[in-house]
């Protein structure tokens, strides 16, 4: 039975893209974080960039209306050699932000390196390593068709970790114990076997 003073929060994580947009939702109940949903929105079949942006807006609105998240976290576009790609990713992110703002959702943005650091403890981790760690942290076995889905989920978990770090405890998937350390450090300390198992799978 849930304690009356324990607050629940649903976080929507978005990995903006113009070919595939990944998303993930987690429910935070006190220090406990659970998987709600994850998936992708395919856009590569659309030739017109404006249509892709429209679809991102509509799908983001649909996710918000279906799951009623309390906030949204997004992955910031990283600087690359191709400025046109950077521009398109920025537009995709802006449209997703606009959808959240239209529903009065608070928005937080995280750099890719920050997200990887929060999930795996390594800012240079690969997409596969992030996905494997998320499966361990959130106790799910299903392998998404695209890594973009786990990228979106990683943003949501990263956002949850920030709050957990401030409060000083972490319990991912209900398996962790409270600790004076925060976020990732607390989880590693209390779940050595689970973490080492995920590392071996990489």
Domain of residue 66, CATH code = 3.30.420.10
Q: What domain count does the chain have?
A: 1
Q: Residue 22 domain-assigned? A: yes
Q: How far apart are CA 174 and CA 33, in angstroms?
A: 7
Question: What is the percentage of the chain residues whose pLDDT exceeds 90?
Answer: 58
Q: Residue 100 domain-assigned? A: yes
**In the annotation, is 142 catalytic?**
no
Q: How far apart are CA 165 and CA 171, in angstroms?
A: 11
Average pLDDT (150-163) is 92
Mean pLDDT of the chain: 81
Confidence at 171, pLDDT banded by 50, 70, 90: very low
Tokens 């942006």 locate to: 53
Q: Residue 122 domain-assigned? A: yes
Q: Residue 37 domain-assigned? A: yes
Give 71's contacts (C-beta < 8 A, 6+ positions apart): 9, 11, 12, 105, 106, 107, 108, 159
Q: Which of 15, 28, 34, 190 is catalytic?
A: 15
- Does residue 13 contact residue 157 with C-beta atoms inside 8 Å? yes
Q: What tokens does 75 get?
A: 């992955």
Provide the domain limits for residue 46. Answer: 8-201
Q: Residue 1 domain-assigned? A: no
Least confident of 54-58, 63-67, 89-93, 161-165: 161-165
What pLDDT score does 3 carry? Answer: 55
- Does residue 52 contact residue 92 with C-beta atoms inside 8 Å? yes
Sheet holding 107-110, edge to edge: 107-110, 71-75, 8-15, 20-29, 32-42, 171-172
Q: How far apart are CA 144 and CA 184, in angstroms?
A: 23
Q: Is 172 left (phi over 0), alpha (psi -120 to 50) or beta?
A: beta
Average pLDDT (126-150) is 84
Q: Which of 28, 34, 75, 190 is catalytic?
A: 75
Q: Residue 3 domain-assigned? A: no
Please report which helix (H) or strand (E) contains residue 39, including its range.
strand 32-42
Average pLDDT (44-62) is 95
**In the annotation, is 148 catalytic?**
yes
Give 162's contacts (C-beta < 8 A, 6+ positions apart): 108, 118, 183
Q: Residue 59 domain-assigned? A: yes
What pLDDT score does 10 carry? Answer: 97
β-strands 8-15, 20-29: how paired? antiparallel
Q: Which of 28, 148, 151, 190 is catalytic?
A: 148
Q: Residue 77 domain-assigned? A: yes
Average pLDDT (117-123) is 94
């Amino acid at each position: 039975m849930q304690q009356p003073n324990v607050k629940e929060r649903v976080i929507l994580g978005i990995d903006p893209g113009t070919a595939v947009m990944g998303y993930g939702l987690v429910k935070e109940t006190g220090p406990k974080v659970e998987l709600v949903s994850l998936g992708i929105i395919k856009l590569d079949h659309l030739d017109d960039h404006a249509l892709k942006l429209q679809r991102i807006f509509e799908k983001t609105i649909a996710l918000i209306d279906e799951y009623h998240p309390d906030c949204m976290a997004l992955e910031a576009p990283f600087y690359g050699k191709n400025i046109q790609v950077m521009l398109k990713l920025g537009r995709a992110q802006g449209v997703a932000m606009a959808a959240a703002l239209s529903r009065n959702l608070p928005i937080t943005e995280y750099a890719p390196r920050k997200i990887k650091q929060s999930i795996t403890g390594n800012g240079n981790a690969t997409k596969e390593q992030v996905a494997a760690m998320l499966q361990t942290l959130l106790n799910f076995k299903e392998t998404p068709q695209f890594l973009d889905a786990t990228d979106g989920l990683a943003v949501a978990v990263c956002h949850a970790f920030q709050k957990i770090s401030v409060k000083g405890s972490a319990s991912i998937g209900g398996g962790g114990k409270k600790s004076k350390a925060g976020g990732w450090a607390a989880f590693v300390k209390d779940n050595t076997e689970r973490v080492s198992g995920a590392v071996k799978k990489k």
